[in-house]
Chain A
Amino acid sequence: MNTPILEMKNITKEFPGVKALNNVSFQVTEGEIHCLVGENGAGKSTLMKVLSGVYPHGEYSGDIIFGGKVQNLRGISDSEKAGIAIIYQELALVPEMTVYENIFLGHEIKNGILIDWNETIKRAGEMLKKVKLNVNLAEKVRDLGVGKRQLVEIAKALSKDVKLLILDEPTAALNEDDSENLLNLLRDLKNHGVTCILISHKLKEVIEIADSVTVLRDGKTICTLEAKKGEVSENTLIKHMVGREIENIYPKRGNRQIGEIVLDVKNWTAYDPTLGRSILKDINFYVKKGEIVGLAGLMGSGRTELALSIFGNPDGYKISGEISVLGSQKRFKLPEDAINAGVAYVTEDRKGDGLILIQDVKQNITLANLKEIANRGVVNENSEVKVANEYKVSLNIKTPSVEQIVSNLSGGNQQKVSLGKWLFVKPNLLILDEPTRGIDVGAKYEIYTIMTKLVEQGMSIIMISSELPEVLGMSDRVYVVSGGKIAGELAILDATQEKIMHLATNY
């Protein structure tokens, strides 16, 4: 058990202006589950890209020894030949192809020059058994949920005789059941001799599954901890990750002045014509001034759809029901109308539909409220820079300048830009959809602090979140959504993780 299957020695990788990896050494023992943790921008993904050949030999310095041999990997195909497979957060499956086509895509089983489909289907079936996935092989990947797609991806990796499997935040997009399922599968694979590197922000799951954990910080290896020796605990991990101890990750609650009802939603029902079914059924809820209302629930329960249907309904659902904002009835036909009524919505997927990645920080921050800095339709660029700099300072956005292109920022800082953009709209009600997904502990704490400050200033917040500790730590009141309905409302003093899960899964 103690032979290292992988040794990365003194790896240094530089990008123009940044040392992403600075003399990193990293060792993985054969047959273990090794977790790699660190804040965003610590260098985890870069290290894995070096290992999988995305950054070819020669673009970095240092040695990779895998399976006892020094490897000079020049691309993903090289690393796959060596027995290393990597599964990214953004899955690399072709949605329009079937499960079996996807599993053998790129290394098709051939009979002469033709593809042997019978053998392909047989072998694909065996692979699915290995990952304990029970779906029709001929189903298109498009029709599978995220959790199942992930398993298909793992099946694909296994079909290549993988010795080392790397998973980059595999559970970020999964609900609790699917996550648990995936972790069990990893344990099972371990028993069958597959070594695993897991990158994750979810420390609970790291503690649950890891044999050893390596912490990276600012492009350097901080330490490697062994589970057997009892070195792995949430506090030690956080301490090593941020370089300081965070006593309480949720900021202290100041005195919140909870006032009148800001948003009141009544008998809200929505039908999605593209899916051909109702997605929201008879929803009633309200939000008061100065309050953080948590919307808990599983992925796919309808929380995001609820937020979108309120926020001008950009997806074109057929809606019935009433909304009133500050006592007066409203009908939002477009997001524009909602924004004008003082509602802002920070999306779940900041890269997909939150930010304009090819534009710079200042353009993103001012986008939703250009009229504020424009005079008769002409943008005043000087006040734009001024506004952007104000948010850069107040939200502590780490960027060399507000002229930096947003795609160059780390996840946490992108999220702050997204937040800044919606704060500049000066809303009464801020809807945050998974505000801390995929961002590191330090940035999370900053976002929580900002939220606390905002409600103290009289803003109202709806927080959609899949992380129960976050819901419990931040909310004043919790609604649990399940199956497109409000399954229950809990005062924060009564709410526990168990109660929320019970409501969320009970429909």
Chain B
Amino acid sequence: MSFLQDARKLLQQNIREYGMYIALFVIMTIFTITTQGTFISSRNIVNLVNQTGYIAVLAVGMTLVIVIRHIDLSVGFLGGFLGAIAAIAMVQWDMPVYLAIPFTLALGVLAGAITAFLVAQMKIPAFVATLAGWLIYRGAILVVTESTGTIIIPDKTFNAIGNGFIPDIPDIGILPGIHKLTLIIGVIAIVLLIFSEINSRQKKQAYNFEVLPMEMFVIKLVFISALIGGVTWLLAGYQGLSWTAVVVLIVVTIYHFITTQTVLGRHIYAVGGNPEAAELSGINVKRITYIVFGSMGMLSALSGILFASRLQSATTTAGQLWELDAIAAAFIGGVSPAGGIGKVAGSIIGALVMLSLTSGMNLMGIGISYQYMARGAVLAAAVIFDVATRNRAH
């Protein structure tokens, strides 16, 4: 088979997956042109990543919720509420930040478990159960911020999560103005990636399984390395990797690993693909429901922490429309509304698409009303594309 045929076959087989990346690339290119390069500047990209953070972690959790055929509308205000709880814990209860954060995350898990109880045990449709949660947490935010209004968070460590950057290694005279630790991390990531890809390819070959042709494999590695390298270079040109980006990367890595490599991940997708069959295959569907909603609750808490930290305060309006952004991100990222299909990495791309649109249009000075319309159109287009390519694959 010739090289071009290989490339075409690969593209055809994976059009759905590559579609999102292409869309993101196109959107970014358009904004780079229309803003004369401001969009792609180091500063803006760093900002973009920090703004995406709290939606990105919600989108990760939402992916799994939708995969098991449920929905969670309560995540936005739950996040906002728990962000306020974290602030209160530190400000009013004098809880140290290292305790306040795990405490808030644990409350998130508890909230998720309550949702799971309603959905799995009481058999209440998730839409209704979480709509109730939406109302309750909305009220709860108002209650806890009632006396003080906005709660200012003075803790520097806490605020660094949303605003700070990882420290650099001491200046050694080379590459002035460039964040060297970020560069080093980027290089390590590329090396690790190449190493693990080669390793997995060799293992597959040892079993005589089908692998990508050599040229395609090399091109794929070069492409991904260039992507990571490019982003690293951009980030290093400003203040380096932000703590928000670190948090998101850790979350995505863990969830990507769980969903693609573990028995738990398989069980989640099996429950989404056919709950009855999963049950009869010895999978405890209730347990999976608890785990998925529990994780969603925890990520809502994390999202609230990221947001509160970024604003350095807890506000009465925190959490508004987050859930819809997260759901939209998941659908743009290729999650199937029918359940059983969807990738965590895809939802992150979806979140980046949504936030790139906001950021780019803000830079262009487009009004908020048109921004909503544009985002709606992109959401519809993404899902249409997804459905169209899925039908063709069958």
Contacts and interface: CB of A to CB of B under 8 A. Distances in A.
Nearest to A368: B281
A385 B274 CA distance: 22
Contacts of B203: 382
B262 to A, nearest CB: 5
Contact of A356 (B204, B261, B273, B282): B273
A359 B280 contact: no
B370 interface: no
Tell me which of B203, B273, B283 has the highest count of chain A C-beta atoms within 10 A of its own C-beta: B273
A358 B280 contact: no
Contact of A358 (B210, B273, B279, B283): B273
Given A335-B280, A382-B207, A359 B273 contact: yes
Interface stretch (A112-120, A294-302, A346-354): A346-354
A335 B261 contact: no
A339 interface: yes
Contacts of A374: 262-263
B197 interface: no
Interface in B188-214: 203-204, 207, 209-210
Contacts of B279: 314, 335, 353
Given A335-B279, A374-B262, A377-B262, A353 B209 contact: no
Contact of B340 (A311, A340, A356): A356
B259 to A, nearest CB: 11
Nearest to A383: B207
A345 interface: yes
Interface string B264-285: 1111011001101111111110
Interface in A375-409: 377-379, 381-382, 385-386, 401, 405, 407-408
Given A367-B270, A377-B263, A378-B261, A356 B278 contact: yes
Interface string B250-264: 000000000001111
B341 A358 contact: yes
A371 interface: yes
A382 B270 contact: no
Interface residues of A, number: 38
A352 B276 contact: yes
Contacts of B277: 347, 352-356
A359 B340 contact: yes
B9 to A, nearest CB: 13
A359 B269 contact: yes
A49 to B, nearest CB: 15
B340 A358 contact: yes
Contacts of B281: 335, 339, 367-368, 421
A266 B280 CA distance: 23
Contact of B280 (A347, A386, A407): A347
Contacts of A353: 274, 276-277, 279-280
Contacts of B341: 358
Interface residues on B, range: 20 to 34
A368 B270 CA distance: 10
Contacts of A381: 261
Contacts, number: 87
A370 B263 contact: yes
Interface in B8-30: none
Nearest to B204: A382
A241 B14 CA distance: 38
Residue among A370, A385, A386, A407 having the largest count of chain B Cβ atoms under 10 Å: A370
Given A358-B273, A359-B269, A386-B207, A371 B263 contact: yes
Contacts of A401: 210
Interface in B268-307: 269-270, 273-274, 276-284
Contacts of A245: none
A363 interface: yes
A370 B261 contact: no
Given A359-B340, A382-B209, A368 B204 contact: no
A325 to B, nearest CB: 16
A368 B282 contact: yes
Contacts of B210: 401
B342 to A, nearest CB: 11
Nearest to B285: A314
Contacts of A347: 277, 280
B204 A354 contact: no
A334 interface: yes
Nearest to A308: B280
Nearest to A418: B277
Contacts of B262: 374, 377-379
Nearest to A15: B394
A345 B352 CA distance: 45
A50 B77 CA distance: 52
A357 interface: yes
A176 interface: no
Contacts of A352: 276-277
A205 interface: no
A395 to B, nearest CB: 18
A374 B264 CA distance: 11
Contacts of B266: 363, 366-367, 370, 379
A336 interface: yes
B134 to A, nearest CB: 29
30 contacts: A311-B280, A314-B279, A334-B282, A334-B284, A335-B279, A335-B280, A335-B282, A339-B282, A347-B277, A353-B274, A353-B280, A354-B277, A354-B280, A355-B274, A356-B277, A356-B278, A357-B273, A359-B270, A363-B269, A363-B270, A367-B266, A367-B270, A368-B281, A377-B262, A377-B263, A378-B262, A378-B263, A382-B207, A386-B207, A407-B394
- What 3 A-B pairs come out closest when comparing CB atoms? A353-B276, A356-B273, A336-B282
Interface of B: 203-204, 207, 209-210, 261-267, 269-270, 273-274, 276-284, 340-341, 394
Interface of A: 311-312, 314, 334-336, 338-340, 345, 347, 352-359, 363, 366-368, 370-371, 374, 377-379, 381-382, 385-386, 401, 405, 407-408, 421
Given A367-B278, A382-B204, 20 more contacts: A314-B279, A335-B282, A336-B283, A336-B284, A338-B282, A352-B276, A354-B277, A356-B274, A357-B273, A358-B340, A363-B270, A366-B266, A367-B266, A367-B270, A367-B283, A378-B261, A379-B262, A379-B266, A385-B207, A401-B210
